[in-house]
Amino acid sequence: MIAHLQRKRKHFSTPIAIYGIERVDKMNILGITVSHTLTFHQHIAVLVTKSAQALKTIRNNRLNGNALRDVTRATLVSQLLYASPAWWGYLKADEMNRLQSIIVKAIRYGYLPRSFSTLDELREDSDDKLFFSARHNPNHVLHRLLPKPKTIEHNLRQRTHNLTLPMDVNATIKQNFVYRMLFRDIY
C-alpha cells in the first residue's frame, strides 16, 4: 500500500509495481483499517457493523441491570474506543456522529445508563491518560515522539505541559495524536 493524500490533485502517479507484491487500497493494521489516502471510512463501516451485531448478541443473552451495563461497556464501548488515539483525529464529523449514534442507541435500549458519557468524552479521558503516561514515563513507546521540554525562566501561569510546540507542520501531522494533545488546552 502506498499512502498518499488526495488534495487538489486528482491523479497520483504511483511507482512501478514490483513483481510478487500485491498493491492494495486499504490495510488492516492491528484491527484498524487504514485506506491508502489515510482515511478511516472502512474502519468506521466495520465498527458500525460489529456494533450492530454486538447489540443483537447482548439483546439475545437476556441480561439485565448492572450485568447488562457491564457487558455492554466491556464489549461495545471498548470496541468503539479501541486504538482511538491513532485514528480519531482523522475522522470527519459525520463519522464521529455515526459512532456516537451507536452509544445513543445503546442508551435508548437500556444497555447503558442515561447518565453515560458521550463517546467523545470517553475518548478524551483515555487520550489524557495516554498522554500523561507518555510524558512522564521515559520508557513509554510514545515518549520519543514528544518534543523536548522547554525551559522557562519567567514566572508564568501553569500550563498543561512544558513541551515545545512545533511551528511548521502540515495538515496531516495536525491530525495525529501527539500534535492534538500538545495543542489541547494550552490557553
- pLDDT class of 9 with cuts at 50, 70, 90: low
Render pLDDT for 124-170 as a digit per residue (tens, 0 to 9).
Answer: 999 889 988 988 899 988 888 888 877 777 666 666 777 767 777 76
Do 138 and 102 have their domain in common?
Answer: no
Cα–Cα distance, 90 to 39 (Å, whole number): 7
Cα–Cα distance, 70 to 113 (Å, whole number): 10
Do 150 and 176 have their domain in common?
Answer: yes
- Of 116, 133, 156, the one marking the end of a domain is 116
For residues 106 and 166, the model is more confident at 106
- pLDDT class of 185 with cuts at 50, 70, 90: low
- Of 80, 98, 116, the one marking the end of a domain is 116
Do 99 and 133 have their domain in common?
Answer: no
Do 130 and 112 have their domain in common?
Answer: no
Establish if 85 belongs to a structural domain.
yes
Do 134 and 101 have their domain in common?
Answer: no
Q: Angle at Cα 186 formed by Cα 143 and Cα 145, nearest 5°?
A: 15
pTM: 0.72
For residues 14 and 19, the model is more confident at 19
For residue 67, what are the domain limits? 40-116
Do 55 and 96 have their domain in common?
Answer: yes
Half-sphere exposure of 139 (CA within 13 A, CB side): 0
- pLDDT class of 39 with cuts at 50, 70, 90: confident
For residues 79 and 59, the model is more confident at 79
Do 44 and 108 have their domain in common?
Answer: yes
Do 104 and 130 have their domain in common?
Answer: no
Do 72 and 91 have their domain in common?
Answer: yes
Do 160 and 105 have their domain in common?
Answer: no
Please give the tally of structural domains in the chain: 2
Do 112 and 134 have their domain in common?
Answer: no
